[in-house]
Amino acid sequence: MKCKKCGSKAVINMRQHKLGLCCDHFLQWFTNQTQRFIKKYKMFEFQDRILLAVSGGKDSLALWDVIHRLGYKADGLYINLGINHDTSYSQRSMEKVKNFAHDQDLKLIIADIEEMEGASIPEAARFTLRGKDKPCSTCGITKRHVMNHIARQGEYDVLATGHNLDDEVAVLFGNTINWQMGYLLRQHPVLESSPKGFIRKVKPFFRFYERETAAYAFLRGIDYIHDECPFAVGAKTIYYKEMLNQMESKRPGLKLNFYLSFLRAKEEGYFAELRAMHAEDFNLCETCGQPTSAPKQCAYCRTWERTRIAKSAIK
Ligand code: AMP
Ligand code: FES
Ligand code: ZN
Ligand code: ZN
């Protein structure tokens, strides 16, 4: 296969675009596409202060690399979840993020959950019995809360994450087969800030397939953590990703089309009536002041309060 731009040997074939490119032209294409989507979806401007959530994985480190090269100002936020029991997963991913920030001379904020709340994510999940044997729901609640809190405290204009198209399509697939209207309404690559205190959120990589972000990270020589979180084994989204990739291999472009058709349906107003039916009213948490759909205390404060009580009882 030859590069469509220069005729030399292609390193990647993107069948959904009928496009094969050599290393240099792929890196150029990837960077230009990122810029194009940031503009097209009005994600942020050059003067905006961006907080980028970096996990140490390929997507968020590649995103930091690209937006830095494009000239945007983005500080990194790494949340140390304390998932270390057998694979030192958090420890190793934090090292990758620290090294990247150091080498590129970028500002990195580290939020250490154990220091902040007195326990790690797996401990909190055990104490509160949330999610039975898996800490993923405690982890999700915590990450969302901490990202919003730090972005607001630091007066950032926008919070960016490294979600790619495969992530988004797997979530869309799950939301669709379960007809979760509330989630479908909220799923979008750009979520505006809310007057009650949700920061604006964007996903600049939502148009790239996972193999493209992986190729970018690899070709740029970015050192990232290759493992998934040890608790992700058997997760539904991983199963959906496998199914969707099987379909994609027979019908190139299926994943992209599924997601873009969903966005088009939203733009054309097909979800408008639903929006009125599912209008959410947010309150402010009495403990931390962040917005919540709960009447008094947000899920984050409830989780960590229960964890502290349970932990002190066994001491
Ligand atoms: P995941 O939910 O692991 O697929 O990650 C999706 C996105 O969330 C990543 O691309 C990051 O932007 C962000 N993220 C995940 N884990 C962390 C973390 N520990 N610290 C900061 N950001 C994270
Ligand atoms: Fe949160 Fe795995 S449980 S990253
Ligand atoms: Zn070329
Ligand atoms: Zn709270």
- Tens of pLDDT, residue by residue over 190-227, are 999 988 899 999 999 999 999 999 999 999 999 999 99
Select the more confidently predicted residue: 278 or 34. 34
What angle is formed at CA 27 by the lines to CA 21 and CA 31, rounded to 5 degrees? 125
* CB-CB contact of 21 with 29 (8 Å): yes
Ligand nearest to the CA of 3: 3
Task: Kindly report, residue by residue over 176-192, the tens digit of the pLDDT.
Answer: 999 999 899 999 999 99
pLDDT for position 21: 98
Q: Residue 302: phi, psi to the nearest 5?
A: -65, -45
pLDDT higher than threshold 80 for residue 280:
no
Nearest to 189 by CA among 174, 208, 205: 205
Residue 122 in contact with residue 83, Cβ under 8 Å?
yes
Nearest-CA residue for ligand 1 atom 15 is 55
- Which of 231, 233, 237, 238 should be mutated for ligand 2, with most atoms under 8 A from CB? 231
| Contact yes or no for 164/59 (Cβ under 8 A) | yes
**In this predicted model, what pLDDT tens digit does every residue of 15-30 receive, in sequence order?**
999 999 999 999 999 9
Q: How far apart, in whole angstroms, are the C-alpha atoms of residue 185 and residue 176?
A: 11
pLDDT at residue number 130: 59
- Ligand 1 pocket: which of 51, 59, 60, 191 to mutate (most atoms <8 Å of CB)? 60
Cα(10) to ligand 3 centroid in Å equals 7
What is the whole-number distance in angstroms between the Cα of residue 156 and the centre of ligand 1?
Answer: 18
Residue 137 alpha carbon to ligand 2 centre in Å: 8
Q: Which of 50, 54, 55 to mutate to test ligand 1, by most ligand atoms within 8 A of the CB atom? A: 55
Q: How far is the CA of 207 from the centre of ligand 3 (A)?
A: 22
Phi and psi for 239 in degrees, rounded to 5?
-65, -45
Question: 53: which residues sit within 8 A by CB, 6+ positions away?
Answer: 60, 76, 77, 79, 143, 147, 159, 160, 161, 162
Q: Answer yes or no: are the C-beta atoms of 250 and 243 closer than 8 Å.
A: no
pLDDT digit string, tens, across residues 82-124: 999 878 999 999 999 999 999 999 999 999 999 999 999 999 9
Backbone angles phi, psi at 108, to 5 degrees: -125, 130
8 A C-beta contact, residue 121 and residue 81 = yes
Distance (Å) from CA 157 to ligand 3 centroid: 37
pLDDT of 54 over the 90 cut: yes
Region at 56 (left for phi over 0; alpha for psi -120 to 50; beta for the rest): left
